């Protein structure tokens, strides 16, 4: 199924379709305005990757700011860890074609370890195994739920 999106001339004519459909459309397009073909949801997947990278970078950058000190008090700090790492897990799982669940868990666990290691060197912050456990717990639970939902829909 093809969906043509008409946008202003300077954005070109973007078309979301399979490569077979795009070959038929290309023949009818003028040579000066070739369509931009976005197949297999690549834009969505790369947007998910960009979101995961953005959140991860901000974990380290904003975590080093003085405002991060005491931002969440227990037990809300664990809820914040679960929400943040659950979102990163979801975005990476979507980027990886809704597969490779173990890889997503390993990547998110590595991010959690790196974040806790980073916190050891920040004044007023400390690394905690409870925080790391919440990070890994979020990755395992979210990816398991996503994989279970995918199996039920297939």
Interval 100-137: pLDDT, tens: 999 999 999 999 999 999 999 888 888 889 999 999 99
Q: Are 113 and 105 in contact (CB under 8 A)?
A: no
Beta bridge partners of 114: none
Q: Could you tell me the CA-to-CA distances from 141 to 3, 39, 145 in Å, in that order?
A: 35, 30, 6
Q: What's the predicted TM-score (pTM) here?
A: 0.72
Angle between helices 76-95 and 129-153 (to 10 degrees): 40
What residue spans define the domains of the chain?
3-37, 42-153
**Nearest to 19, CA basis, from 40, 5, 3, 48:** 40
Q: Are 138 and 82 in contact (CB under 8 A)?
A: yes
**What's the pLDDT at 18?**
53
CA distance 33 to 6: 12
CA distance 44 to 55: 17
CA distance 71 to 147: 33
pLDDT in tens, 14-71: 444 555 555 555 555 445 544 545 556 788 999 999 999 999 999 999 988 888 888 8
């Amino acid at each position: 199924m093809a969906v043509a999106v008409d946008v202003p001339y300077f954005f070109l004519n973007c078309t979301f379709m399979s490569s077979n459909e795009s070959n038929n459309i290309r023949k009818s397009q003028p040579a000066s305005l070739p369509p931009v073909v976005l197949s297999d949801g690549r834009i969505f997947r790369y947007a998910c990757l960009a979101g995961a990278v953005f959140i991860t970078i901000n974990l380290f950058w904003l975590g080093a700011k003085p405002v991060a000190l005491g931002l969440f008090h227990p037990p809300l700090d664990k809820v914040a860890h679960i929400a943040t790492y659950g979102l990163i897990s979801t975005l990476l799982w979507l980027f990886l074609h809704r597969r490779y669940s173990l890889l997503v868990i390993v990547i998110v666990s590595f991010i959690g370890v790196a974040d806790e290691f980073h916190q050891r060197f920040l004044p007023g912050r400390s690394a905690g195994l409870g925080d790391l456990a919440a990070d890994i717990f979020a990755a395992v639970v979210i990816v398991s739920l996503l994989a279970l939902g995918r199996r039920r829909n297939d």
